[in-house]
Every structure is written in structure tokens, then in C-alpha cells.
Amino acid sequence: PFRSYEFIETSQPRPGVGQVTLNRPKALNALCSPLIAELNQALADFDASPDVRAILLTGSQKAFAAGADIKEMAPLTFSEAYTTSFIESWSSLTTNVKKPIIAAVSGHALGGGCELALMCDVLYCTETANFGQPEIKLGTIPGAGGSQRLTRAIGKARAMELILTGKNFTGREAFEWGVAARTFATWDELLEGSLKTAETIASYSKVAVMAAKEVVNKSQDLPLRDGVEYERRVFHSLFGSNDQKVGMKAFAEKKKAEWTDN
Ligand code: HXC
């Protein structure tokens, strides 16, 4: 049922959970354009699949992703980058995918790799994961949202220091600063913990889960008052879903909810 890809692998490791594994080991999962195109395709397939309710995005133990592909970018001119909207397709992850994506980060998550992780809805990592925005060392700056998402996540003081110095930060720091929701001691524990969370999410009503993701993400774009109003509208709209009736009725009857996904 899965397409075959060159730079990623897809699987369904648990019921309701779709997994994308970045798989370009020779380049530490450097995110070349064809890899991003494959990632977008895989995520679009999972988003459309009735069998998938939560998505796990991971790399290898050694590298989540060591950045955009430096060798691909090196010769790009301004006009090429501008006219082809270079990197814009990376945004599909945040604008098109409605189901929650959990990033499981081990090893390097640098530059575009760090930005990719920051685009996901839940970020888990190992304590020793190696995050950073080292673009300054290459004579450039973050280009896939790093200066915006990292700054919102950890505040201006830390983000400015990291982005101006290109200094890396650890998984432990990512957790302490609120970038990562949890850290794990080992790669195996990271994968298992991520799958467990994905399974938990997958056990809930798909309509409610997608609405929850949508409203939390709105908080990153809207002023508080507008965000609260937006949330209330979506909350109201869920009274039109069958699963709200199913969930509340099951509670009253002390039974397990059998979601209908509508
Ligand atoms: C292309 C890369 C790469 C990258 C690693 N490789 N990162 N190729 N783009 N971002 C390749 C190396 O060239 C090498 O290929 C192979 O992967 C193994 O890497 P090594 O450097 O030999 O491994 P190691 O010594 O373990 O060092 C790991 C590393 C280092 C510290 C992660 O590879 C590194 O610094 N990579 C670049 C990290 C970076 O600057 N990322 C930001 C990119 S800019 P060969 O063929 O030599 O074996 C960016 C911009 C984002 O992401 C803006 C828009 C998205």
C-alpha cells in the first residue's frame, strides 16, 4: 500500500499511526529538494488516508536531519531562488497537513533539520540530540522559519544568541527551554515513547484531534483575543459532530467511546 521512495521510508507501525523515516544516511538526512518533495507526498497521503490518525516523523539515531542540502544550495543565484520560490514547499508541512505530526529527534537536527522539527506539532528528542541554527557559519541565515519559530519557542534573548553565534544546543536544553515536550535517554525509548503518544492521539476522535491541532496552531498567529474567539467558534462547531455526542454519552454511561469520526 506504500509508495516506494528514494530518500524516505513510510510505514504504519501501529494502528492509526503513519510513520515517515528520513532515509538519506550518506548525507545525514540532508534535506535536498527531492527529499522534501517525497516528504510532502508521504504526508499528503497520510493526511488523506482514513487509516491514519497521527503521524510520526523521524530520522536515524545519528541524524534527524543535518540541514538543507548545502551542496544543492551552494550554486543557487538570487533569481533562481526567488523565481522558483526555493524552500516554500517546506511550508506544506505546516499549512496542508491537518493531522498531528510528532517529531522524534535523535542526533543532528541542524539548520533546516532544526526548522523541520520545529514545524512539527509535538517534538520529542533524546537528551543528547544536537540542535542548532548554524547558517551564520555558512554566510547565510535560517530560511525555513527558524528565526521565527525558535524565537517564539525560547524567547528572543536565547534565539538571538544561538542564531548569531551558530552555537548548538542539546536535547536536554531543548526540553528545559520548552522546545521539546519530552526527552528520552535512548533512541529505542524515544521511538517507543513517540509511538505511544501517537497511538494515544490516534485513539481519539479524528475530528476533535484535527480541531485541537488547528486551534493550538492559531495561537501562534493570532492575538490572544482573536485566538480565544477562534477557539470558541471551533468549539461551538464541534457540537455539530457526532463524536461530541458519542464522547459525552460514553462518559455518562461509564463506557468506552466508540468514535465514528464524524
Ligand atoms: C549536504 C551534508 C550536510 C548538509 C552533512 N552532509 N550535512 N551534505 N548538506 N547539510 C554530508 C557531508 O558532506 C558528508 O558527505 C556526510 O554528510 C557526512 O557528514 P560528515 O560531515 O562527514 O559527518 P560528521 O563529521 O559526523 O559531522 C556531522 C555534522 C556535519 C556536524 C552534522 O556534517 C555538519 O556540520 N553538517 C552541516 C550542518 C549545517 O551546517 N546545517 C545547516 C545547513 S544550512 P561526504 O560526501 O563528504 O561523505 C540550512 C539552511 C536552512 O539548513 C535554510 C532553509 C531550509
Query: Residue with the nearest Cα to atom 16 of ligand 1?
Result: 27
Distance 246 CA to ligand 1 centre (A): 50
Q: What is the crossing angle of helices 146-154 and 112-119, to 10°?
A: 60
Which tens digit of pLDDT belongs to each residue from 100-120?
999 999 999 999 999 999 999
Which tens digit of pLDDT belongs to each residue from 58-111?
999 999 999 999 999 999 999 999 999 999 999 988 889 999 999 999 999 999
pTM: 0.97
Query: Residue with the nearest Cα to atom 22 of ligand 1?
Result: 27
Neighbours of 72 (CB within 10 A): 14
59 lines ligand 1 (CB under 6 A): no
Local structure of residue 4 (DSSP, 8 states): P
Give just the sign of the alpha carbon dihedral 91, 94, 98, 104: positive
User: ipTM of this predicted complex?
Assistant: 0.98
Residue to mutate (ligand 1; options 31, 61, 70; most atoms within 8 A of CB)? 70
pLDDT, position 71: 97
Distance 197 CA to ligand 1 centre (A): 30
CA distances from 224 to 217, 220, 228, 231 (A): 12, 9, 6, 10
> What contacts 90, CB < 8 A, 6 or more positions away?
36, 112, 115, 116, 119, 144
CATH number at 8-202: 3.90.226.10
Extents of the domains making up the chain: 8-202, 206-252
pLDDT, position 12: 97
30 lines ligand 1 (CB under 6 A): yes
70 lines ligand 1 (CB under 6 A): yes
112 lines ligand 1 (CB under 6 A): yes
Q: Residues with catalytic annotation?
A: 68, 112, 115, 135
Q: pLDDT at residue 32 above 70?
A: yes
Q: pLDDT at residue 33 above 80?
A: yes
27 lines ligand 1 (CB under 6 A): yes
Fold of 206-252: Lyase 2-enoyl-coa Hydratase; Chain  A, domain 2 (1.10.12)
Which whole number is the average pLDDT over 125-131?
A: 98
Q: 55, 101 in Cβ contact below 8 A? A: yes
118 lines ligand 1 (CB under 6 A): no
- Ligand 1 atom having least distance to the Cα of 28: 17
Percent of the chain at pLDDT exceeding 90 = 98
Which tens digit of pLDDT belongs to each residue from 190-217?
999 999 999 999 999 999 999 999 999 9
Query: Residue with the nearest Cα to atom 24 of ligand 1?
Result: 28
